[in-house]
A and B are shown apart, each in its own frame.
Chain A
């Protein structure tokens, strides 16, 4: 926490080292979150790229009261939502509930992951987006359910329901595979 406050201050002052430290600290965290939400290696990379590039462009004017980690996660989630929305506008992938085809196996191993992570991401992709987002933000981004309720603009009890149903479906989906 103290380190992040210092990083925020240094970054606002235009510090390149601060940006690099923030990048190194949260790169894989955001990548995992994006993968949990979109289950597409190329798209997840684009999302993380956009988050950091936009963040870097705010250097000098950046001001944030809350947690840097939550801020970056929220930026990533907003971009994931944009992508999901854009996908829904594509005739071939209209339904958010429809499974998203995974796009792994990049030839140069741009992304490093184990088989279990791949299976979990595939299983999460079967969930309705809202449930997937709650689970990813709570478990992968360590965000409180109350905070997620604010992000999704619904009550905490609705978030709890989405979390519970999502986990049940995940358990069924992964049953016997892990």
Chain B
């Protein structure tokens, strides 16, 4: 026997069995769970079930159906037991050249960065494999109406994103390099194919058939936290449903509800995201992706976002600390990069900036602040890249301060046994896993 065979056999023989006590406890809990769940079902369902099962004839008929189904239709059950396989849905989505859809996003929760969160956005999107995408995005005013309206063109061929804001008669052109384009696309989870793939990677169940948005559809659901894997969310709850047209096997509606702690006090942030109104395989013309910009609109040069590098993360962290006197609590929330957080700060850097914008027009002020605060995005962009690349990042901005020269502020894995660390005083080192364990004992840990 080859050594490899031998070790494989040894592992295969590994066996752990429940002892009588464990068996008794496990079965008791399992059985109890089923009983309690059955009690929660609608009484009418119970009654119908009981009536049906009281009939000996129906019992025999059901038994016959079971046997026939098992003997004759096993292969059918495996492949189409719920009618549609998500892999087929994905294949069909990927074959579509162009489609339209709408989405609604609501983010709400307890206070973040000193303010209760209540954001609602909606959009209508046209996506084309060949040309890119065009979105009309509206941010709704909590008091009613539309606060801002923007047309966003993602043009991969031109490596640019163009945003047109009719209300302000402005447009913005952002040049993007390949890395940013890829990142931008990956972060944009509104891509339907990507959503199907994500569900497939999780444990999911079929919801059976139902009429959804007027279409006979079959539903798939996952509550697997891995759906948001790598987000660093604490106490994450996920409930995702996708409804698929049983005739075309293309999505009809997507619903995502997520909720997570954003601080150690258990304050929650909730997000509802719904995609609906799909129109598949719509005819498109290149002209639909050519932004129409009236002559009286002014061009705003969009600053290039920081690349996802350690250096840019340090720049961002340093700027944040200079402006506020402490580090952001979270590394992955861009809501922490708003001027409102610093406008009353007493630090010398914040006071300088407060002075700089005095007397400026709203437009000049917005431009000045945008440029001044831009490096802050280096934190989130870098952290997101670490999460995406499974570098095991952790961030301790809630407890580590700029005075903590020996405490780990941010860390990530660089090799099998090595981690890179940005310390509280902004110096960076690569250390072994053992050393990191020692260092992290020094801090009260909370992963954002």
CA distance A77 to B312 in the complex (A): 37
What are 21 A-B residue pairs whose CB atoms fall within 8 Å in the complex?
Answer: A5-B70, A23-B30, A35-B14, A36-B11, A41-B16, A52-B29, A52-B30, A61-B205, A66-B78, A94-B433, A94-B440, A111-B18, A113-B16, A113-B17, A117-B13, A117-B15, A120-B10, A120-B14, A135-B11, A140-B11, A167-B7
A157 at the interface (CB under 8 A from B): no
Interface string of A137-152 (1 = CB under 8 A from B): 0011000000000110
**Cross-interface CB contact of A128 among B4, B206, B416, cutoff 8 Å:** B416
In the bound complex, residues from chain B placing their C-beta under 8 Å from that of A114 are 15
> How many angstroms from the CA of A171 to the CA of B31 in the assembled complex?
41
The reply to whether the CB of B445 lies closer than 8 angstroms to some CB of chain A is: yes
- In the complex, number of A-B residue pairs with CB atoms less than 8 Å apart: 199
Task: Check B11–A139 contact: CB distance below 8 A.
Answer: yes
Chain B contact residues: helix, strand, loop or mixed = helix
Q: State which residues 123-178 of A face B: CB under 8 Å.
A: 124, 128, 135-136, 139-140, 150-151, 153, 167, 170-171, 174, 178
A62 with B205: CB separation less than 8 A:
yes
CB within 8 A of B81: which of A64, A140, A171?
A64
Residues of B within 8 A of A16 (CB): 31, 34
The chain A residue sitting closest to B26, CB to CB, is A49
Which residues of chain A are near B91, meaning CB under 8 Å? Answer: none
Contact between B34 and A19 (Cβ–Cβ < 8 Å)? yes
Interface size band for B: 35 or more
CA distance A74 to B205 in the complex (A): 13
Nearest-neighbour CB distance to chain B for A79, whole angstroms, equals 10
Which parts of B23-43 form the interface with A (CB within 8 Å)? 23, 25-27, 29-31, 33-34, 36-38, 41
Q: Tell me which of B7, B17, B23, B440 has the highest count of chain A C-beta atoms within 10 A of its own C-beta.
A: B7
B58 at the interface (CB under 8 A from A): no
Q: Is the CB of A19 within 8 A of B31?
A: yes
Given the known A-B contacts A31-B17, A113-B17, A171-B3, are A53 and B11 also in contact in the complex, defined by CB atoms under 8 Å? no
Report the separation of the CA atoms of residues A39 and B66 in the bound assembly, to the nearest whole angstrom: 40
Q: 9 additional contacts, CB 8 Å, given A14-B38, A94-B436?
A: A57-B34, A95-B433, A95-B436, A98-B437, A106-B19, A110-B19, A120-B14, A171-B3, A171-B7
Q: Which residues of B contact A35 (CB under 8 A)?
A: 14, 16
Cα of A145 to Cα of B392 in the assembled complex, Å? 25
Closest to A22 in B: B30
- Complex formed: what's the CA distance from A174 to B445 in Å? 36
- In the complex the two chains form, what is the Cα distance from A60 to B38 in whole Å? 8
Contact between B226 and A81, CB atoms less than 8 A apart = yes
Residues of A within 8 A of B208 (CB): 63
In the complex with contacts A1-B74, A62-B205, A178-B10, A53-B29 CB distance below 8 A: yes
- Separation of A5 and B443 alpha carbons in the complex (Å): 51
Chain B residues with CB below 8 A from A81, complex form: 226
